[in-house]
Each structure stands twice: as C-alpha cells, then as structure tokens.
Structure 1
Amino acid sequence: MSGIDAAAPRWRGVVGAVSVVALGGAAWAWDGVNDPLARFLVAAAVVVLTAHLLGALFQRFGQPQVVGEVVGGLLLGPSALGLLWPAGQQWLFTDPVRQGLGSAADLGLVVFMFLVGCRIRPEELRVRSGALLGLGVGSLLVPFLGGTALALLVGDRLASGTRPAAEAVFLGLALSVTALPVLARILAELRLTDHPNGQLAIGAAALGDGVGWGALTVLLALAGGGHAGGAPLTVAALVVLLPAVRYGLRPALAALVDWAERQPASRTGQLLSVLLAGLLGLAALTQWLGLHPVVGALLFGAATPGGHPAVRRICRQLEGFTTAVLLPLFFVGIGLRTSAGAVLGDPAGWLLLLAVLAVAVGGKLLGAVLGTSAAGLPRSEGLRLGVLMNCRGVTELVVITVGHRAGLVNDLGATVLVLMAVLTTAATAPAHRLLERRAAARPGAIGRFRRWPGWAR
C-alpha cells in the first residue's frame, strides 16, 4: 500500500502536466497562435514531458533513464511521429522552433560536457594496476582498429568519402566510446560501484574518455573545419591552448575555488558566475577555432577541481536543470535528424547496422578480454568488464553530433551510429545480469578476483 501511496503524487503530477500541455496545445490550435516564443515553449514542453515519461517507463524495466529519454527523442522525429503523423510533426517542429531548440540543446550540451570534464581527474588516470591499463587500452584500441577497418571497407556508405582517412579514424573513435556518466548510473543500479569490477570499469572509461576526446580534438583540428583560417591555424591554436589550460587556467581555477570555499555562503554564487562565464567563453573560443564547443567545455571541466566541495555543490545545481530540461532538447534534436526507416527499411541498411554492431560490441568484448587476460584476470571477468564497457550512452551521441557537423559522417552513418548507441546502452545491464547469474554457479570466481595480486584499490 505504501508503494501505491508514494506513486500517487507522481502520477497526479504527470496527469496534470499532460493536461496543461494538452490545453495549451488546444488553445494554440484554436486561436491560431503564431507567436514564435509561444510555439517554442509548447514544443519544449512536449519534448521534456515525453522524455521524462519514457525515462520513467524504461526505469521500471531496469533500464537507465537516459535510454528512455533518447528513445523519446527518436519517437518525436521522422522515425515515429513523422512517419505516423507528418502534419503533426511539421506543426509542432517548425523551422524557427527547431532553431530555438537547437540553440538550447547546444547550451545543454556545453554544460553537460563541463560536468563530464569535472569527473575526469587527470591525476587519477595514472595506472593503478595492470588490469586497469589492460582494460582501458584493450577496450579502446580493438574497437578503434575494427571501426577504422570497417570504414575503409564500406567506403562512402557511412560518410561522404571525400576524406577517407579522417572519416575512417572518426568511425573508429565513435565505436570505441564508453559513456562514463551513464556507466556510473548503471553500476549504481547493479550495486557494483564499490566492487573491483565497477572500479576497474570506471577507471578504464575515464582513461578512454581522456584519450578518445584528445584524439577527436586533434582529428577535428586536422580536418580543418574551422572558421579561423583552416587546419594549420586550428592545429597551431590547439598546440597553444592545451598548455595554457593545463598550466595557466587550471591553477587559476584552483585558487578561485579555494577563495570561494573560505566563505561559501557569500561566494558560491560568485564562483558559479565566474565558472559559467569561463566555460561559455572557452566553448566559444574552440567553436571559433573550428573544433567544437564541447571541446572547450570538456577542457574547462577537466581544468576545474571537480573533487572540491564547492565545485561539487555547483555541479549538483547545474546537473538538475541540465538533465531535466536541456538534454531532452538535445535528444529530440538528434531524433529530428534520425530516420530509422532509412536503415531498417533497406536490406543494405540492416547489413550496415549489423556490421557496426558486430564491430562495436565484439571489439569491446575482445579488447577487454585480451587486455585483462594479459594482466592475469580470468577470461570470465574480462567478458563481464567488456559488457560494461559497451555502455555508450550520451557520450556516443555527442561524438556522433560532433562528427556529423564536421562532415565526418553522413546522415545514414549518423542514424546507424545512433541506433547502435541506443541498443548497446540498453543491453548493458541485462547482459551483465545474465553473466552474473551464470557466474553464480561458480562461487569461487569473485573470491579469486579479490585475491588476485595485481588488483590494487
């Protein structure tokens, strides 16, 4: 009875929100309102409500909330709403509304990548054990090589074919991604956060994020998509920017955070203002240099002392609004550009999707098994770790968006990669639970892992 009582307010809130949106839409349609702000707000309300309803539904089936939110964005795009009711989708998402949603989504993306960067602690990426290095390198290198080879084989099916080397490297990077924030959520749901497997997976994902984003930044610079003079100036600016962030910005932010913590009641708001201004400024700079605003946001986050109590408080404030409102707008932006019918309605599209899935999943599993086996772990442990490393989540969607805007992947390729990201993320927790049940028949496996001398917490 208590569960029903606890759920009642939530569902009353959902019904109330649906009613408000329905009444607003009815009034809009009846009066023929054409005010751009009103249309934007109604569309944003529909997006946020759909994302949270799907997120709550997927959570009831043991999935991370973000999987439902991404599916909600896809359902509002041509894959579902545009297919079943094209006039309704065009009425809801006019060109001005799409532009407004895109701008809000870009802001949410920048803040989200700042939060991701705050979780990456460069000093903690030092190798704590052979298993961490083996898992990190294996789960990154094998799918990268497989994706690069696949891109060279399929030619211009997933990309334009004008820059085959850069496009092949991008596909390899896209298939080697592991989403650190979503992985942390899944580990918490599986109660593995403090387990050696969970600690290894988090450390390897952080290592992979650092290497992968660094490689993607260099690739964008070499691709020469900038507005500030092309590839040479972009590469030169990157060579100057990285040391400036490491040796100039990072100490300055550490001193600023220490200053704010001495009087947290009065200075936390000032710290928040300075961090947001610096974040947006560096994101704007990297966008102008032709990289991408998320590169500047990630660098700013990595330079911020994320373990500091003051920064943790600010991150909690930013995370609530970002994940509740801004990220769903990013997901619907992806959904509006993704047409699953273009892939699933064509036998060649099915083959491409299956090939990408095989390389992405198989590369992670093989790389994890090879890397951890070289460090002395049993293959069964490597397999379970490989399943966890297959979680791609929001990070993969960000990488796809960056590559699509830079022209490193075409519409079909972006759609295939989005479907791959959703499927692999959704399969992570169920696949790990299945392997755990099979491992339960061998009760000595976990004990052997804990006694393995190469593991050091």
Structure 2
Amino acid sequence: MTEKEIGLLILTFGVFLCFVHVFGYVFERLRQPRLVGEIVAGIFLGPFVLGKLSPGVSDYLFANPALGADRTKAILGFIYWLGVLLLMFISGSQVKRLLSKENRRETAWILGIGTPLPFLIVMILGVSGVISIGPLVGVKGVEMSALLVLASAVAVTSIPVISRIFNDLGILHTRFASLILGSAVLEDIALWGVLAVATALTRQTSLADQYIVGSTAQHLVITFTFMGTAILAMPTVLKALGRWRWNLLLRASRLAYAIIVLFAYVGAAAYFEVNLVFAAFLAGFGLAGGISGGQREHFSDALDSISKFSYGIFIPVYFALVGYRLVFGRDFSPTLLVAFLLGSTALSLISVGLAAKLAGFRRLDILNLAITTNARGGPGIVLASVAFDAGIISAAFYTTLVLTAIITSQMAGLWLRYVLSRGWPLLSTDEEDVVEAPVATPVGGDLLGHPSSPSVGF
C-alpha cells in the first residue's frame, strides 16, 4: 500500500474513533447506554445518513477510488473482529465462577427451560401455521430454515453486549454476571448448531439427508470438545506454562504473552471451525485461571493495560461498525418490528422467569435475570447477517432482527443501571452483588468500567 492509501485508511479510522466517542458521551449524558450511542454513531456514518446528506464525503471515506471500497471494507472488517475478540477476551478474564459448582443448578434450570421453551413454542406455532412465515422467507424460499432462524432469534443472548454492559457497570466480578454468561455460552453453542442446520437446509431437500445429519453432528461434537477442553483442561495447562522456567515470552512481556494466548485460541478455533467469539472469551477465562480464577492477579497489569487500550480504541469502533452495517429504506417494516419485538420479548421474559422461579430465585432476582438474558445484541446481529447472506430470511426480517437486538440490549442496560442506582441486589442470594451504581463522569478517568470511567453510561 502507498502512503496515500494508508493515510486514507487512518483518516477513516480516525473519523470513526472521533464520532463514536462523541456520540457515546452524549448518550451517556442523556442517561442512555453508551454502547447504543456508539452504534448510532455508526448509523450516522453509514450510507443511510451520511451517504444521503453528503455522498461526496461518504465516498471519500469509504469508497475512495484511490483505495477501493473492497479494500476499505476488508480492513474495517478486520478492525470489527479485533474489537469483538478483545471485548470477549477481557470479559472472559474478569468473569469468576463460570459454570462453578454454586451455579450449576441454576444454570441447568435456565438452560433446561429458559432457552429451549421459547425455541420450541416458536417452532410449534410456526409449523401449525399460527405464525405466518411467508414474509420472513428469503430468496432461497425455504420456510423451515426461516422458522429455525426465527426460533433462534427469540432464544439467543448476546455475550458481547452483555459483557460490555457488565463491564461498564463494574459487575463482571459478581455471581450474577457469571451465571448469565455461563448460561449464554452454552445456549449459544446450541443455537449456532441450529443455524448450521438452517443453512444446510437451503442446499438440501430433506432434514434426514445424510449430509445434514452428518456434518451438523460432526460440527457440534467438535464445538463441544473444544469448549470442554478450554474450560476444564486449558486453565491447568496455562498455569503449568506460567510456572515453566523456559517460558521466555512470559518473562519478556506478560502483555505480549496474554495476547499470544488470545491469538492461539482464536487460531485453533478457526482451524476447527469453532465460533471465534467463544474462543476469545475462553482464552481470557483460561488465562485468568479458569473456574478458580486464581491466576488473574499474575496478569492483572497486562490485562488492565489491554482493557484500557481496547475500551478506548477498538471496542467502541466495533460497536460503531455494527451500526454502520445496518440496512434501512423500503425494506424496513415497522409492523414486523413491533410484532417481533413485543412477541419475542414477552416469550423470552416468561420462559426465563419460569426457569429462574424453579431454580429458587426471588421476585427481583427473576426480573433481573429475565430482562438481562433478553438482550440479543451482537449474536442477534450476527445471526441475522449470516441468515440474510445465505438467503434464508428476507431483507425486512433482517432489519427487524438487527433493530430488535439493539433495543433489547438497551432495555437490559437501562434496567440494570436502575436496579443498581436504587441499591438493590442483582441476586438476593449473594450479598456481593449489591453494587453501587456507577455515575457518568467527565472524560479523564480510566476506561475499565470503574465509576471514574467515561465508558460508564448506564
């Protein structure tokens, strides 16, 4: 690349960085989730706002002939993925007691009822004809695939967005956070398997086709093996490597060593075709010592440095790029959005609420768990994008899924901030979850989600 091409890319990245922090700060002052402001910044810079208001400026930044739209898109895509991987790595390193003994019973109830119940209800309503699938079907014309995506979109929980909300509120260390994220990790594995079936159905004529059954079963076995190894075995391996006297990289730079661990997990996940987002989360989890969490103090300085830089640069730009990729125009259907938003939210809240009740939680606990798990966020957007690109769903349904993901994530952030501002516990069974609500402060504090941080906006 020439100096001019590099300069144009840096300019585009700088514009994103400027707008994302300004919009995030404004939304924070309006007592709205900061990440929603970051997404709105991306929408403003996208083709449906800046592209309409000033086509020349938009083309110069994102489709300049001197650089090429395809090259710009590819590099911004790399920044997008780097942001989400760093977010998940940091989140994994700060979550304690994921799938620990004290959470297993509650996690089992949420996974056993909270996730499959809404999925099964949507499938039954769709197969029986109560829900009209026609308007949701994409160019491939496979109604069963669209129905599977619809059911998955109701049940999915956003690990990246929930992690960002927890970090901004300073509650990643709590049992509430570990319970939510532990359940979300396992449920999303199953839902990605469902998406694999939906995609395969667009190429086959029968669900019983040997290709579908074989490839999907193999993919799920590999995924579960990878996750099980990362959760149960790798923390011990990383601890042993940390004590190895010939680990020169660790002795040379703990920060570089932490990043290499992240890259190793992601590289292995790519090789085995496992979801990279989960791999990044598990890399942070393993580096911090796994379920015991006994190794994080050895990497606290390195992880704090990564957190400060990531939350100042790459993670906000990731959320801005989410907004930049949204599609509006005549393909947007307000009726479909309202119907799906209200229906899916009600179904999710009832299902998770029932699971939490059976798990022994109390009234406020139940509401906290139900509203938080209803946040669709990043996985909801990724689910929509993959399904739309595969021709499974229509453009109108794609836009609906993305907007629902944003709205439900905003609802979760606002509710948790309200609970903490009142001094209420996130879980009445755990006194450490009584957390003082963060308050938005002027720029100048750290970026770790502590009360002095400008990233705290809930």
Decide: shared fold, TM above 0.5.
yes
TM-superposed CA distance for 1:122, in Å, is 8.0
170 and 118 in structure 1: CA distance in 2 versus 1, 3 angstrom threshold: farther
Residue 354 of structure 1 and its aligned partner are, at CA, apart by 0.7
Change (3 A) 1:243 1:34: closer
Q: Which of 310, 320, 330 is matched with 2:318 structurally? A: 330
- Distance 1:374-1:167 versus aligned 2 partners, 3 A rule: same
Within 5 Å, give how 1:193-232 maps onto structure 2.
Answer: 199-200=175-176, 202-217=178-193, 219-220=195-196, 223-224=199-200, 232=214
TM-fit CA distance, 1:99: 2.5
Residue 271 of structure 1: aligned partner: 257
**Match of residue 385, structure 1, among 369, 373, 382:** 369
- Confirm whether residue 172 of structure 1 aligns to residue 141 of structure 2: no
The two structures have a TM-score, normalised by structure 1, of: 0.71
Q: Give yes or no for contact 1:292–1:402 (8 Å, CA) kept in 2.
A: no
Count residues with an aligned counterpart. Answer: 403
1:230-289 CA distance string (max 9 Å, x none): 754564355346436634896356333433257765362563354144134224314xx4
Contact 1:114 1:279 in 2 (8 A): no
**2:400 aligned residue:** 416
Q: 1:65 aligned to 2:34? A: yes
The answer to whether residue 2 in structure 2 is matched with residue 38 in structure 1 is no
Distance 1:117 1:412, change over 3 A: farther
Of stretches 35-44 and 302-311 in structure 1, the one that deviates more from structure 2 is: 302-311
Could you give the per-residue CA deviations for residues 185-244 of structure 1, whole angstroms, max 9, x where no partner exists? 6467778778xxx7446413421332222431464277349xxxx754564355346436
Query: Is the CA contact (8 Å cut-off) linking 2:97 and 2:178 kept in structure 1?
Result: no
Partner of 1:91: 60
Q: Deviations over 1:22-51 (max 9, x none)?
A: xxxxxxxxxxx9933222211111111111
Partner of 1:236: 218
Superposed CA RMSD: 4.3
Q: How far apart, CA to CA, are the structure 1 residues paired with 2:171 and 2:90?
A: 22
Aligned equivalents of 1:328, 1:404: Cα separation in 2: 25
Equivalent position amino acid for 2:78 in 1: S
Query: Where does residue 242 of structure 2 map in the other structure?
Result: 260
Equivalence map 1:264-303=2 (5 Å): 265-266=251-252, 268-269=254-255, 271-272=257-258, 274-286=260-272, 289=273, 292-294=275-277, 296-297=279-280
Asked if the contact 1:140/1:208 (under 8 Å) is kept, the reply is no
1:140 aligned partner: 115
Residue identity matched to 1:78 = P
Residues 436-447 of structure 1 mapped to structure 2, 5 A cutoff: none
Q: Which amino acid aligns with 2:72?
A: V
In the alignment, is the contact (CA less than 8 A) between 1:158 and 1:412 conserved in 2? yes
Structure 1 residues not aligned, in runs of 5+ = 1-32, 452-457
Give the C-alpha shift of residue 352 in structure 1: 0.8
Code of the residue aligned with 2:84 in structure 1: it is L
Task: Give 1:54 shift.
Answer: 1.2
TM-score where L is the length of structure 2: 0.71
CA distance in structure 2 between the partners assigned to 1:410 and 1:122 by the alignment: 40
Q: 1:279 to 1:318 in 2, by over 3 A?
A: farther
CA distance, structure 1, for counterparts of residue 388 and residue 284 of structure 2 = 24
Gaps in structure 2 of 5+ consecutive residues: 64-68, 202-210, 431-458
Distance of 1:91 and 1:258 partners within structure 2:
51
Q: Which of the numbers 335, 350, 357 marks the counterpart of 2:334?
A: 350
Among all aligned residue pairs of Structure 1 and Structure 2, give the percentage whose two residues are the same amino acid.
23
Larger helix share, 1 or 2: 1
* 1:423 CA drift (Å): 1.4
CA contact (8 A) 1:249 1:303 kept: yes
Residue 101 of structure 1 and its aligned partner are, at CA, apart by 0.9
Shift of 1:357: 0.6
Say which is worse superposed, 369-378 or 89-98, in terms of deviation: 369-378
Does 1:112 find its partner at 2:96? no
AA at the equivalent of 1:340 = F
Distance 2:346 2:336 in 1: 15
Q: Distance in 1 between matches of 2:187 and 2:88?
A: 15
Residue 55 of structure 1 is matched in structure 2 by 24
CA shift for structure 1 position 450: 5.3
Distance 1:284 1:407, change over 3 A: farther
Q: Letter of the 2:240 partner, please give it.
A: D
Per-residue displacement from partner, 1:348-398 (whole Å, max 9, x unpaired)?
x11110112112321232123322333455555533432233333344334
Preserved contact between residue 136 and residue 205 of structure 1 (Cα < 8 Å): no
Q: Which amino acid aligns with 2:146?
A: E
1:357–1:104: structure 2 CA closer, same or farther, 3 Å change rule? Answer: same
Query: More displaced, 419-428 or 392-401?
Result: 392-401
